[in-house]
A = this chain, B = another copy of it.
């Protein structure tokens, strides 16, 4: 029950991040709702399709759709009068990321896949909704650019979760440690502006093999 409320809260935070991104592109109200839906459901949907899980999570439980639409619609009047509480949203987003990515790893392990696939599914569940959002907004996805260790946090946290399970640690401590690691790395990246090195080719190499 509490897990379910957390789940809805996480989806709502992703929906708000989608609505804010849409607002920066001056889309119409329905476009905002579509972007919010894609942002909040995209990662889990790609995971479910890749793992052939039926039904896809929001089709089996349409309450997700209702929560997302309400969160997106509430964002619009809110930001007419007040600035979005970006600090709080970032913290909520980091918690949502921690929650969804470890849940994604659990789904993959539960279906009998190896740890490497679980880490990839964690990344897809946590980060590919935002990737689709950025593709629809016609931008290079944020998680690929010099960023704030968004995908790194997921990969490290999910790897810790998988390793702890492999070492025989039981499920709840492993889950909490993994989520904590994701959130901690994101917080550190936000506070101290950590980032990965950029790979930038000189112009001389600027001709593709195909």
Name A's B-contacting residues (CB within 8 A).
13, 16-17, 19-32, 34-35, 45, 49-52, 54-56, 59, 62, 65-66, 76, 79, 83-84, 86, 89-90, 92-93, 113-114, 116-117, 120, 130-131, 135-148, 150-152, 155, 195-201, 204-210
Residues of B within 8 A of A199 (CB): 19, 22-23, 26-29, 31-32, 76
Q: A59-B113, A62-B116, A65-B116 are in contact. Are A29 and B140 (CB under 8 A)?
A: no
Q: Which residue of B lies closest to A130 (CB)?
A: B210
CA distance A152 to B31 in the complex (A): 10
A138-B138, A210-B148 as given contacts; A65 in contact with B31, CB under 8 Å: no
Most chain B beta carbons < 10 A, residue from A90, A145, A198: A198
- Shortest A13–chain B CB gap in Å is 8
Contact A210 B147, beta carbon cutoff 8 Å: yes
Tally of this chain's copies: 3
New A-B pairs, 7, CB < 8 Å, besides A30-B152, A90-B210: A17-B208, A17-B210, A22-B199, A27-B198, A30-B196, A31-B199, A86-B208
For this complex, 15 residue pairs linking A to B, each with C-beta atoms less than 8 Å apart, are: A20-B201, A20-B208, A21-B208, A23-B200, A23-B205, A26-B146, A28-B144, A28-B146, A28-B195, A30-B144, A52-B52, A62-B114, A62-B116, A90-B210, A138-B139
A34:B201 contact, CB within 8 angstroms: no
- Cβ contacts under 8 Å, A24 to chain B: 201, 205-206, 208
Contacts of A92 in B (CB 8 A): 209
Contacts of A201 in B (CB 8 A): 20, 23-24, 79
A137 contacts which chain B residues (CB < 8 A)? 140
